[in-house]
Amino acid sequence: MTDKPGKKKQKPPAPVTSRQTSGVPARVAAHELIARVLFDQISLDEALLACEPMLRPLETRDRAFARAIAATSLRRLGQIEALLAGFLEKPLPERAKRAGIILIAAAAELLFLGVKPHAAVNAAVGAAALDHKTRPLKNLVNAIARRIDREGKEIVEAQDAEKLNTPAWAWESWQRAYGEETARAIASAHLKEPPLDFSVKEDAKGWAARLEGTVLPTGSVRLAKTASVEKLPGFQEGGWWVQDAAAALPAKMLGDVKGKDVLDLCAAPGGKTAQLAAAGARVTALDKSSSRLARIRENLKRLSLEAELISADALRWKPERSFPLILLDAPCSATGTARRHPDVLHLKSAGDIAKLADLQFRLLSKALGFLAPGGTLIYCTCSLEEAEGPAQIEKLLRNRKDIARLPLTAAEIGEDADALAPLITAEGDLRTLPAQFESLGGLDGFYAARLKKLA
């Protein structure tokens, strides 16, 4: 149902008019978001930007609802497609692929979002009636949606949710790396909406109290429920920034950075730049995307923090000096962020991992050229794939006798060493998994290694 034709430019979606039936505009926006991800192969974040003309006229709650439908549809896509395959006598024709999107979204509403059946079914039929390609299929949409309501819950309860919602290449990769039990736990964690984490400039306990959150063993502040970030206490005054608890750990591996020069390579979206600047470092943040650097600049201004921002390709950049401390957050598959970005697993393939691993090794080798003798470099990725993590370090150490691994201890990344010990590998690297801290809401998947250039 979600065959991916070649990318083609689409016109910005038009706003949905008020003459449509209740609840339809939010659904039509959700359908557009899902289609952009599955057919145009762009991220959900990019789809949200592309669909801004359609989303802007909606009320805040309807915009949030449209995103929830899209995210849930992508998170549970394997289960939903297996269900629909059993209900449809034959696959929908290419010209009717939008009807398939409508049914995917309706299933997400009925089976996983707890929407009242009459509302979900009527809105699905109403959405089908709006498009001349799906209008002839509105009776089919109605019949299938009603069948989903009648029979769907029993079917999905019997499904292997973890395996169905994970692409085969990723499932096999995680099994090889972590074993069947942990691979299943990772896939299970991806099916849950993640909590919201903040890094704070100071006084984590105080901010946790103000935000009605908790302080994690890592030192991050976590909110149990989602919220409009801009309306929370401390946003305007710059007391904190959004950053997953796992993403905040690699910068800590540099130790005390106060008054020291730190190069932050591939710096966007900027959470680590802010973290280092807040710790008193003199930060040089480099990224090849000038638009993403502009967002870092805006965030630093809100936080009253400073950093030197450079727009350049790290593979071609030629600095005038070396740096004693470097943080390289290399571009990666981002499979460790799938619980926050459920589109990730639908946009990547095993072939992408190999290409990214090649880029990562070239960036790592280049970054070591920027490192002063005796200096420390942190290599990290938000990936669960061994090829993008430990395999890179092992390859490097086989080929570079002037580089040594500096093992990490749990006490270096938080006060509760016992709670943090499972995040440290036998080699002394950092490895977080979505299934860890399960009772607290989980973590993004991250890998980081600390390296020293021998004098």
Q: Is 332 marked as binding a ligand?
A: no
Residue 153 in contact with residue 114, Cβ under 8 Å? Answer: no
Instruction: Encode 199-246 in three state secondary structure.
Output: EECCCHHHHHHHCCCEECCCCCEEECCCCCHHHCCCCCCCCEEECCCC
Its sign, for the CA torsion 160, 163, 165, 168, is: negative
11 contacts: CB under 8 Å, gap ≥ 6: none
Q: Is 287 marked as binding a ligand?
A: yes
Site of tokens 């039936």: 21
Q: Is 203 marked as binding a ligand?
A: no
119 contacts: CB under 8 Å, gap ≥ 6: 23
Rounded CA-CA distance 21/157 in Å is: 32
382 counts as catalytic:
yes
Q: Is 197 marked as binding a ligand?
A: no
Q: Which residues pair with 449 in a beta bridge?
A: 379
Q: Is 418 marked as binding a ligand?
A: no
Return the exposure string of 394-421: e unless at least 16 CB atoms fall within 10 Å of the residue's CB, then b. Answer: eebeeeeeebebeebebebbbeeeebbe
Rounded CA-CA distance 404/395 in Å is: 12
Q: Is 106 marked as binding a ligand?
A: no
Rounded CA-CA distance 423/434 in Å is: 11
Q: Is 149 marked as binding a ligand?
A: no
Q: Nearest CA to 100 among 33, 43, 31?
A: 31
Q: Is 445 marked as binding a ligand?
A: no
Q: Is 45 marked as binding a ligand?
A: no
Question: What is the four-CA torsion angle of 430, 214, 195, 148, rounded to 10 degrees?
Answer: 130
Residue 261 in contact with residue 282, Cβ under 8 Å? Answer: yes
Return the exposure string of 157-174: e unless at least 16 CB atoms fall within 10 Å of the residue's CB, then b. Answer: eebebbebbbbebbbebb
Its sign, for the CA torsion 120, 121, 124, 127, is: negative
Residue 381 in contact with residue 246, Cβ under 8 Å? Answer: no
3-state secondary structure (DSSP) of residue 332 = coil
Tokens (6 digits) for 72: 């849930």
Rounded CA-CA distance 2/77 in Å is: 10
- Active-site positions read 382
Residues annotated within a binding site for S-adenosyl-L-methionine: 266-272, 287, 313, 329
